[in-house]
Chains A and B, each alone.
Chain A
Amino acid sequence: MPRKISLKIHSIAFYFIWVLMAGLLVPMAAGMIITMGQQKARLQKELDEFHRESLATLTKNIEDTLVSFLPEGVKNTSGILLKDERIVAIEVYSDIYDLYLFRVSKETSVRPFNIISLTQTVSSDNEILGHVRIDVDRDWIRPMIQKEFIHNIILFATMFAGGLALILPAIYHKILKPLNLLMDQAEILSKGRLDAACSWEGKDEFSMLGGTLDDMRRRLRQNFELMEEQAVTDELTGLPNRRGFTMKVETLLCLCTRYGHDISLAMLDLDHFKCVNDTYGHGIGDEVLKAFSGTILERIRKSDFLARIGGEEFVLVMPETDLKTAENILNTLRKQVSRRDYPHGKTLTVSVGVTASYGSQELNQLMALADKALYQAKNQGRNRVIALSKAQKE
Chain B
Amino acid sequence: MKNPRLFISVFLILACFAWTAQAREFNPAVIYQGNIEKNSFNVSIHRGVERFRKKTGLDCTETVAGLDMDDYFSSLRSAAEKGHSPVFLLYGNHIPKLVDFVRQYPATRFIVLDTMLDEPNMFSFVMAEHEGSFLAGALAALASTSKQVGFVSVVDTPFQRRFLCGYSQGAHYINPDIKIFEGFTGDYPGAWFDGKAVAALASDMMDKGADVIYQAAGGAGPAVLEAVAARGKLGIGVDINQNGLYPGSVLTSMIKRTDKAVFAALMLAKRGIWRDNYKRLGLAQDAIDIVFDRHNQSLVTPVMRDRIEKIRKDIVLGVIQVHNYNENIKCP
Interface class of chain A by DSSP: mixed
B-facing residues in A70-105 (Cβ within 8 Å): 70-71, 75, 78-79, 82, 96-105
Contacts of B318 in A (CB 8 A): 75, 79
B309 within 8 A of A: yes
> B260 contacts which chain A residues (CB < 8 A)?
98-99
Q: Is A156 on the interface with B (CB-CB < 8 A)?
A: no
CB <8 Å contact, B313 and A104: yes
Mask of B248-285 contacts with A, CB within 8 angstroms, 1/0: 00000000000010011001100101011001110011
Contacts of A101 in B (CB 8 A): 284-285
Residues of chain B lying within 8 A (CB to CB) of residue A70: 276
Question: Are the C-beta atoms of B309 and A75 separated by less than 8 Å?
Answer: no
How many positions in chain B have a CB within 8 Å of any CB in the partner chain?
A: 29
Closest to B16 in A: A68
CA distance A96 to B268 in the complex (A): 9
- A108 proximal to B (CB < 8 A): yes
Residue B25 CB within 8 A of the other chain = no
Query: In the bound complex, what is the Cα–Cα distance between A68 and B260 (angstroms)?
Result: 16
A160: interface (CB < 8 Å): no
Known: A99-B287, A102-B316, A104-B313. A69 touches B306 (CB 8 A): no
Contact B268 A69, beta carbon cutoff 8 Å? yes
Q: Does B190 contact A (CB under 8 A)?
A: no
Contact call A102/B284, Cβ cutoff below 8 A: yes
**Inter-chain contact B285/A96, CB cutoff 8 Å:** no
Is the C-beta of A106 less than 8 angstroms from some C-beta in chain B?
yes
Central interface residue in B51, B279, B287, B318, by most chain A CB within 10 Å = B279
| Cβ-closest chain A residue relative to B55 | A98
A79 to B320 Cα, complex, angstroms? 13
CB atoms of A68 and B273 under 8 A apart: yes
Please give, as numbers and ranges, the residues of chain A lying within 8 Å of B51 by CB-CB distance: 98
With A82-B317, A109-B305, A110-B303 known to touch, is A104 a contact of B284 (CB < 8 Å)? yes
The answer for the CA separation of A109 and B302 in the assembled complex, in Å, is: 7
Q: Is the CB of B285 within 8 A of A71?
A: yes
Query: Would you call A108 and B268 a contact (CB within 8 A)?
Result: no
A67 to B274, CA, bound (A): 11
* A110 and B302 form a contact (CB under 8 A): yes
A75 to B281, CA, bound (A): 13
Please state if B285 and A103 are interface contacts (CB–CB under 8 Å).
yes
Judge whether A98 and B263 touch: CB under 8 Å.
yes
Q: Kindly state whether residue B330 has any CB partner on chain A within 8 Å.
A: no
B289 to chain A, nearest CB (A): 11
- Contact in complex: A71, B264 (CB < 8 Å): no
B310 at interface (Cβ–Cβ under 8 A)?
yes
Chain B contacts for A100, CB-based, 8 A: 284-286
Per the bound structure, the CA–CA distance linking A69 and B273 in Å amounts to: 9
Residue B271 contacts which of A78, A96, A108 (CB distance < 8 angstroms)?
A96
B312 nearest CB across to chain A (Å): 8
Q: Which 7 A-B pairs have the closest CB atoms?
A: A97-B264, A110-B306, A108-B309, A104-B316, A108-B306, A100-B286, A100-B285
Question: What are 30 A-B contacts with C-beta separation under 8 Å?
Answer: A68-B273, A68-B275, A69-B264, A69-B273, A75-B317, A75-B318, A79-B318, A82-B317, A97-B263, A98-B51, A98-B260, A99-B260, A99-B263, A99-B281, A99-B286, A100-B286, A101-B285, A102-B284, A103-B285, A104-B313, A104-B316, A104-B317, A108-B305, A108-B306, A108-B310, A109-B302, A109-B305, A110-B305, A110-B306, A111-B306
Could you list 12 further interchain pairs (A-B, Cβ under 8 angstroms) beyond the known A79-B317, A98-B260?
A: A68-B273, A69-B264, A97-B263, A97-B267, A97-B268, A101-B284, A103-B286, A103-B316, A104-B316, A109-B309, A110-B305, A110-B306
Residues of A within 8 A of B (CB): 67-71, 75, 78-79, 82, 96-111
